[in-house]
Amino acid sequence: KVYPGMNTPFKDVDIVVVRENTEDLYAGIEFARDDSGTKQLLDFVLDATGKEIRKDSAVSLKVISQTASRRIVEFAFEYVRQNGRKKVTAVHKANILKFSDGLFLDTAREVAKGYSDIEFGDMLVDATCMELVRKPQMFDVLVLPNLYGDIISDLCAGLVGSMGVAPGANIGDEVAIFEPTHGSAPKYAGQNKANPMATMLSGVMMLRYLREKDSA
C-alpha cells in the first residue's frame, strides 16, 4: 500500500499478495548433478516421456497439489470477504506448465464458483509483472504459487516505496506468525536507518487476524 511520503510515482495502490508457501520449487526436492539418485530420475523421465535430460543436469521438482492450491485460494477469497476487498486474481503460467500450474488454475476456477459475489480473474505471471509496473491500481488481491509469490511480493514492495513498508504473515491452520517481509537487517543496527513501518504494519495485521480491529 502506498503511504504518504513514500518515494514512488504511484498513487492509490493497495495490493494484497497471497502466496502458497509450502510447495512449488521451494519444496526443496532437488537432485544434484552426478548423484546416483539423479541418474535414476533421468532414466525414469526418459522411459516415461521419451524426453532425454542432459546427464550433467541438476533437477528440482515443482510440486503443486490440489489440496494446497484449494487451501490458499479459499483463503484468498475469505480474506476478500472479511476485509471488504473486491477481486481475486490467480497468477500462473498454465499455458506452458499445463499440469502443475494448470492444476493450480483449474482449482482456483473451481473455488471461485463458490464465491459468486466476488470478482475473479486469472493472469499469466509475465503479463502480471508487466501490468504491475504499468497499472498497479488494477489489482486487488493476488493469489499465487510459491515461486511467483516470492518474486511478485518483492515487486509490489518496490512499487509502493521499499521493502521497509511491506508487512507479512505466515498463516497456517493452527498457528500464525507475523513479520516484515524484509527479514532482519543487522548491517543497519545502531545507525538509525531502519524503517520500522513494516514491523508495525505486521503488528496491525496480527491484531486484525485476532479480530482486534479497534486496536489495529
Q: Which residues have a catalytic role annotated? A: 26, 93, 126, 150
What is the torsional sign of CA 155, 194, 26, 42? positive
Residue from 20, 107, 97 nearest 62 by CA = 97
DSSP-derived 3-state class of residue 91 = strand
Please give the torsion angle defined by the CA atoms of residues 61, 66, 68 and 69, in that order, rounded to the nearest 10 degrees.
Answer: 100
Residue from 5, 211, 14, 20 nearest 100 by CA = 20
Paired strand residues for 178: 169
CA separation for the pair 34, 140 (Å, rounded)? 45
